[in-house]
Structure 1
Amino acid sequence: MNHGDMSMPMGNTTCKMEMLWNWNIVDSCFLASSWHITNNAMFAASCVGAALLVVCLELLRRVGHEYDAHLLRQFQRQLRLQQAALAAATPANCCDGPLPAFATHYATFRASALQQLIRAIIHGATLAVAYIVMLLIMYYNGYIFISIILGAVLGKFLCDWMVVRLPYGGEGEKDERRASVGAAGPTGCCA
């Protein structure tokens, strides 16, 4: 008995599934019996679909990071408003004086239930797509594997464009600690 090759009867045709590295095209099946490849065009469409699935995975990862950054900006705006209101309410002749420069203070903000639900949905969708990609890889088909790698390259290129923000002038070394690395999409679809 060959454990690397499993054939499943699908009506009057056979669906080939191998658990060893293979280059099968016609009669390959992926994920379900309904995804049965009967010709080269269907297989090419499957390869393109696998690549686009990985691009969608990269896009979902980006959406998650962007949504978290959006929430952080909201929290920072709220903090600045609270600080401005506090400064306006503090009398000018306060005997306590300014806070020492070395003292670190923290403000804690928590995502609302709706914001956390949106974060959880994005995370769940990302995980679902990642597991589908993993299941496709587990068919050990060389063409699907190459398509997934190409999709990852394309997804990284489109949805994770590196942007580095470096301060210059002004306060010198103190500003170097505020350098940040982020990502910005080159197209409207991933921004």
Structure 2
Amino acid sequence: MDSLVNRMDMGSSAPPHSCKISMLWNWYTIDTCFIARSWHVKSKGGFAGSCIGVFFLVMVSQWLHRFAREYDVALITKYSQLDNLAKEADSEASYLLIPPQPELYTVSHRWLWKPLVADGVRPSTTEHLIRGGLFTLEWGLSYMIMLLFMYYNGYIIISCILGAFLGRLIFTYNEPLSGNCLADSNDLDKKCCR
């Protein structure tokens, strides 16, 4: 009878490799899980690989940020060389005047189909789709990194911080100190986790 009780006790205990998830600061290495059940770390080597992978994931996000900005700069350069920014601003400036009732104009959404400025660069539909895709990738990656932070694992957080630091050093070494860029300098760093 004792052996039956022991077997029942052993059967009711947690499985040997269950996920350790904590919403408090922790230093767990073995049996940690991140993002999905399939990312279940069962060894120290696997955890080291996870930290290295997270480090490079954050570096890739820094590269993608720079890549998207360079694409914008390339578009501006392309269009400025093609037509020297089309000096036809006078013919287009008529709709840029503030309407007598700005609230009605804003609610009508007529501005959605007109360029924001008369003498700026307007990408083609394909180029705009590429820019939107790059932004979506960068935005999604930023949220994945945020989710990794929310596991409060010290090693993963340190990996993220080091990846951001080294990625920023590598991919922004030649940016001007003023922070200005040829492409849309007003909204450069207004995305999540930037």
- Tell me, yes or no, if structure 1 residue 48 matches structure 2 residue 62: no
Aligned residue in 2 for 1:144: 156
- Aligned residue identity for 2:28: N
Deviations 1:73-112 (A, max 9, x none): 11211233967xxxxxxxxxxxxxxxxxxxxxx6344211
Runs of 5+ consecutive residues of structure 1 not aligned to the other structure: 1-8, 84-105, 166-178, 184-191
Deviations 1:127-175 (A, max 9, x none): 111111011000000000000000001111111113449xxxxxxxxxx
Please list, as runs of the form range in 1=range in 2, the aligned pairs for 1:21-36 lying within 5 A after superposition.
21-36=25-40
Distance 1:42 1:70, change over 3 A: same
TM-score normalized by the length of structure 1: 0.66
Aligned residue in 2 for 1:94: none
The one of the two structures with greater contact order (alpha-carbon pairs below 8 A, sep at least 6) is: 2
1:111 to 123, 131, 139: 123
Distance 1:82 1:18, change over 3 A: closer
Runs of 5+ consecutive residues of structure 2 not aligned to the other structure: 1-13, 88-117, 183-194
Aligned residue in 2 for 1:153: 165
Bigger proportion of residues as strand: 1
Contact 2:23 2:150 in 1 (8 A): yes
Give aligned pairs, total: 140
Aligned residue in 2 for 1:18: 22
Distance 1:182 1:161, change over 3 A: farther
The residue matched to 1:15 in structure 2 has which SS?
coil
TM-score normalized by the length of structure 2: 0.65
Rounded Cα–Cα distance in structure 2 between residues aligned with 1:81 and 1:28: 55
* Structure 1 residue 38 displacement after superposition: 0.7
Rounded Cα–Cα distance in structure 1 between residues aligned with 2:144 and 2:135: 14
Please list, as runs of the form range in 1=range in 2, the aligned pairs for 1:1-191 lying within 5 A after superposition.
12-80=16-84, 107-164=119-176
Task: Give RMSD over aligned pairs.
Answer: 2.5
Rounded Cα–Cα distance in structure 2 between residues aligned with 1:46 and 1:180: 33
Bigger proportion of residues as helix: 2
Distance 1:82 1:111, change over 3 A: closer
